[in-house]
Amino acid sequence: MASRKEERERLRQVRLEKEREQQQSQKRRLYLGYGIAGVLVLAIVAGIVVVATGGSGPGGNAHISQASGSTNDVSTDDREGVGPPAAQVTNLERAAEQAGCDLRLRLRNEGATHVPSGTEVEYRTSPPNSGNHVEPPFQQADGAYSETPGQENVIHSLEHGRMAIEYDPSLPEQDQLELKGLYDTMYGAALFFPNDEMDYQVAAVTWTNILGCEEYRGRATLDAIRAFGRRTWGRFGGEPVDAFGPIAGPTPANPQ
């Protein structure tokens, strides 16, 4: 039978053990609180960064509009473009002629069937202007990209009245920035990206319409793209241009 001294020691040890457990429990709760607070701070900071850079909204240099579709993991073009000069020629046919561009309007519709994401589709024109395309929500989101999106994704966007400005990536950086600067004035429901597989150095495309320029001629090319946008943006494809939600920012039909 244990003595009173031994019993008191046993009870003391039990009490100390309970106190240690309580202290450890309090520490765990404290650390958990710190962890949650840290996550909240990071979330707030991330939110501030997104707002400041416009990374997911139309205010950033890439003008990505997540509401209009998916980026499909294509890198965005966050460069600040060079502001374009005022337009000199506004008539589309005349502007295309002065820029040395091929103007092909109301081409044959190559189809409009939805296909699963990742499906490769063959198109008859370069760059493509219509045809079967990816199913929602993988249509390419409005915005500027530094890589070439899948054309089956872009074509779905064109079906909804959008315009794509495409350029050969071998184009000098200054020329690219001038094109980007023009895009910055008309980014609502429009796309901008390089394309090293097309037959032109610069092209603007809407559903069943192509403006293809074998060389970049500065102001003349910019005038031709502007006139092409005013004539064809939002008018072809058969699907409403605002089907994905309100359009934020200036459009090719009404540049900034």
pLDDT reading at 256 higher than 60 = yes
Look at residue 37 in the predicted model and tell me its pLDDT. Answer: 44
pLDDT reading at 92 higher than 90 = yes
pLDDT reading at 35 higher than 70 = no
Residue 19's pLDDT band (cuts 50, 70, 90): low
Look at residue 47 in the predicted model and tell me its pLDDT. Answer: 42
User: Looking at residue 145, what DSSP letter applies?
Assistant: B
pLDDT reading at 23 higher than 70 = no
pLDDT, mean of residues 21-50: 47
Q: What is the pTM of this model?
A: 0.78
Look at residue 248 in the predicted model and tell me its pLDDT. Answer: 85
Query: Is residue 112 a contact partner of residue 159, using CB atoms and an 8 Å limit?
Result: yes
Structure tokens at 198: 């097309």
Structure tokens at 22: 């309580």
pLDDT reading at 160 higher than 60 = yes
pLDDT reading at 209 higher than 60 = yes
Closest CA to 30 of 41, 22, 40: 22
pLDDT reading at 229 higher than 70 = yes
CA distances to 14, 24, 41, 49 from 28, in Å = 21, 6, 20, 31
Query: Is residue 92 a contact partner of residue 72, using CB atoms and an 8 Å limit?
Result: no
Look at residue 84 in the predicted model and tell me its pLDDT. Answer: 97
Q: Of 12-21, 109-118, 167-176, 184-193, give the lowest mean pLDDT range.
A: 12-21
User: Looking at residue 11, what DSSP letter applies?
Assistant: H
Closest CA to 72 of 150, 10, 2, 165: 150
Share of the chain above pLDDT 70, in %: 77
| Residues contacting residue 100 through CB under 8 Å, at least 6 positions apart | 213, 214, 215, 217, 220
Residue with the bigger pLDDT between 8 and 121: it is 121
pLDDT, mean of residues 200-209: 98
Torsion of CA 130, 131, 133, 136, to 10 degrees: 70
